[in-house]
Amino acid sequence: MLTNFNSMLQTAYEQKKAIGSFNFYNYETLKGILRAAGQMDTPVIVSFGKKYLSNMSFDEVKAITAASAALCRTDVCLHLDHCDKMDIIYQAIRAGFTSVMYDGSALPFEENAANTQKICEIAHACGVSVEAELGSLAAGEASHEGSADDVEVYTSPDAAKEFVERTGVDALAVSIGTVHGLYKGTPNIRTDILRAINEKLHMPLVLHGGSGTPEAKVKECISNGIAKINVNTEISDYTVQHTRELLEKENPHLSVAALNQIQYVSEVVRKYMGIFAN
Ligand code: 13P
């Protein structure tokens, strides 16, 4: 069933687990993520970014997700990933997305808070959950999100408290040292900052940049309030690499290559679901 993320994140937060939010770009990636959710019997967030609108329109995304989720035993949240344009967020809500992320992290605090508050008013009236971001992630290697000149700005715990009180946002993405894409060196994940934010907010927090984050750090983050973890780069890298190996071995019909890609996506998603649930 398609739902917003509120009850899945609240339950995960209370149980000190995290729900995976996996990016998809086409039918194969969507099916791979949902296959993994069925196999692991876990709720899932399928996340579509506006940069992939040249692959599929919001209406097409909603139609295939609703049809596929209807065949799933688990709850599925259809989420709009990082979006800094309010009109595009409204288009996604109109198309039937059950959740949105307004990313005003590049704006001054006041503007980010005012825009997020407006989005929350409209989204909540439609039963749609809202994630926002305070602080800013750097871009790692091969990042498909943000830009190469993005710099790390850690989230301030005091500012986070004021932001949540003013906006009524359902989940807050925090910047604590993870990067979009793969790490260039050893990651320095600031769980001390995360702990301070969680002590002030007591609500589901979101970790972006899941790909390549060391498992022990991921678990430490989950025990300190992270209830939603985003993964994109590794889904793409793993699937491209295995597709290349397949094509080196044989010359499959495209329909067979597509079936294999669903399998590759489900393998990497299952790996992360296992980490997030323990
Ligand atoms: P990665 O590409 O590093 O997994 O980050 C994904 C993400 O944060 C999506 O919003």
The ligand 1 atom nearest the CA atom of 234: 4
Nearest in space to 5 (alpha carbons), one of 135, 173, 167, 127: 127
The ligand 1 atom nearest the CA atom of 182: 3
Residue 10 CB: number of other CB atoms within 10 A?
Answer: 15
Q: Rounded to whole angstroms, what are the CA distances from 276 to 192, 219, 230, 273?
A: 20, 7, 11, 5
146 lines ligand 1 (CB under 6 A): no
Quote the CA–CA distance of 89 and 184 in Å, as a whole number.
32
- Tens digits of pLDDT across the chain (278 residues): 899 999 999 999 999 999 999 999 999 999 999 999 999 999 999 999 999 999 999 999 999 999 999 999 999 999 999 999 999 999 999 999 999 999 999 999 999 999 999 999 999 999 999 999 999 888 788 778 767 667 788 999 999 999 999 999 999 999 999 989 888 888 899 999 999 999 999 999 999 999 999 999 999 999 999 999 999 999 999 999 999 999 999 999 999 999 999 999 999 999 999 999 98
The ligand 1 atom nearest the CA atom of 178: 3
Catalytic (active site) residue 75: no
Q: What number of CA atoms fall less than 13 Å from residue 42's CA on the CB side?
A: 27
Return the H-helix or E-strand segment holding 40. Answer: helix 27-40
Ligand 1: residue whose CA is nearest its atom 9: 230
Quote the CA–CA distance of 70 and 77 in Å, as a whole number.
12
Q: Which of 41, 59, 75, 81 is catalytic?
A: 81
145 lines ligand 1 (CB under 6 A): yes
Nearest in space to 207 (alpha carbons), one of 194, 188, 192, 216: 194
213 lines ligand 1 (CB under 6 A): no
211 lines ligand 1 (CB under 6 A): yes
